[in-house]
Structure 1
């Protein structure tokens, strides 16, 4: 799996996301090696920063940290195990049938995507909540329950790695610090975003849009209307709901409901549901619990980086 550098550092030492800059050469620097960066924002690969000179070791070796279950939902399965998991879902999971042990690989068990159902005789297997993520079958409420502890567990792991390197005065101390900064910046971004779901009435059809914003949703709606008026004669937008601190859900929504995606030119966040499907989607979204921030998350939102400040 390719991992892309999504953040550069400005002249004030602040991490800037690829989505907040224009394409082309930038004044930003690599957070690892201080090399100048170019923003690559095409239509094929994920938006990312590329080094203007030779790519540095942490980037070349793909060592920098990313958020668990945020923009990749394959739960680190090999291609073979992922294909087997999808097949098992089609044949068994989607029908709620038990899975015989001879169909289960060690890789699937090690990844925790299947679990033994001991109430069956002989014991057979079923999908775990984590196992439903790659196939987009896990509801949003449960998805948050699975992802949230993984996000904080990885934060703790990076903090401990940095503290250990600092205590040992290890040669990779600067890399460990940058890993921690990058991860905190990614967490801050998704926590600071509202998730919103819009109903869009046009002169041709009714569509729906998922998205995130750090501003009032009504301001984003005005921009959406301008975008759509380039494609339709009339546009009327209604905000069906929004959720604070739920920027983590947007990409999983796109994964879960990808079969209903309805691109409009270069606009990709639009969906076309029939009445029955829309009821399911709304129920799925509305069952999400309000996000209750942990103290670590509050600190990150408030940019309370005492650990980093002490290190610097």
Structure 2
């Protein structure tokens, strides 16, 4: 029997946290994107049960247990996911998210003041809206955080919001591990694995470079966003091969690359989703018209990523490292 992992409820909205990592025979964490669909030799980092890769067309790709889903991934607690990496709804309920989008369309994008109402209280409490006494008449405006769910925050400012949250979450998980050690808690192993999984995710986005390409074909011009750990030349060989299934001629031009910016790709897709242009199973292509220069400028305005000492240490880690409290399930 295969059992899908079910997870956490936040507010009045079920926010399904899907298991994205399994452990291989070398005690290395393996991401769901790096394995084919179906049965695998990977095991759950929390309980050691074999995993199945679920990579369908409807649900987000994730691992399922081949047996009973372990308590570690069903108990109501916060899981080690990267803030604002692949979920940009700021844990809003569906009703609150729709209200935020409506307010952006009616007021925010025009710079108009938002008059106070009782319905705004959850958005104000979540720091998505803030009071602006200088507007006439006085009212509320969108914060940087509030602009993320509607895809209105420029990429440079997105980095400024997300990066401190990434490191804060790391520090929080480290404190939980230390507290569990002091209290000799039964969940020390679980907390240590949380830290391992989180640091692995953080290392993954830091070791990837973001790239942006202009694609000229025999019939149209497209743009492509993506991330890679290899050289851009190696990646372009694959891109040309994929595109030749759709076009007779393909010419690629690199418009920019950004080291250690693997965190930006998914927000770019969220921000520019209306311009997404699918080519069969290929989903990272965009068709921009007069917006093309503004999009490139949005990318070029990003500051170069300067690694902190903590980030440098994470990049230098042996990715086979297992928390000291966690013994290999293969031993």
Q: TM-score, normalised by structure 2?
A: 0.90
Shift of 1:213: 0.4
Q: Cα deviation per residue 1:213-272 (whole Å; 9 max; x = unaligned)? A: 011111111001000101111111111100000000000000000000000011010000
Shift of 1:62: 6.2
**Hey, what's the Cα distance between the residues in 1 that align with 2:136 and 2:199?**
47
Is the CA contact (8 Å cut-off) linking 1:261 and 1:272 kept in structure 2? yes
Shift of 1:106: 1.7
Matches within 5 A, 1:24-35: 24-35=38-49
Partner SS, residue 105 of structure 1 = helix
- 1:251 maps to 266
Partner SS, residue 3 of structure 1 = coil
**Hey, what's the Cα distance between the residues in 2 that align with 1:18 and 1:224?**
21
Aligned with residue 67 of structure 2, among 32, 53, 65 = 53
1:210 counterpart = 2:220: no
Shift of 1:294: 1.0
- 2:235 maps to 220
Is the CA contact (8 Å cut-off) linking 1:3 and 1:62 kept in structure 2? no
Instruction: Note the aligned Cα RMSD (angstroms).
Output: 1.6
Q: Cα deviation per residue 1:16-56 (whole Å; 9 max; x = unaligned)? A: 11111121111111000000001111222111111000111
**Hey, what's the Cα distance between the residues in 1 that align with 2:76 and 2:261?**
27
Is the CA contact (8 Å cut-off) linking 1:161 and 1:176 kept in structure 2? yes
Q: Cα deviation per residue 1:68-122 (whole Å; 9 max; x = unaligned)? A: 1000000111111111111100000011001111265221011110011122466
Matches within 5 A, 1:1-312: 1-61=15-75, 63=77, 64-102=79-117, 104-120=119-135, 123-274=138-289, 276-303=290-317, 311=325
Q: Extract unaligned runs of 5+ from structure 1.
A: none
**Hey, what's the Cα distance between the residues in 1 that align with 2:155 and 2:204?**
19
After the TM superposition, which segments of 4 or more aligned residues of structure 1 sit over 6 Å from their partners?
A: none
Q: Extract unaligned runs of 5+ from structure 2.
A: 1-14, 327-331
**Hey, what's the Cα distance between the residues in 1 that align with 2:293 and 2:160?**
22
Say how many residue pairs are matched. 310
Q: TM-score, normalised by structure 1?
A: 0.96
Q: Cα deviation per residue 1:177-198 (whole Å; 9 max; x = unaligned)? A: 1111111011000000000001
Shift of 1:166: 1.0
Give the structure with the larger helix fraction.
1
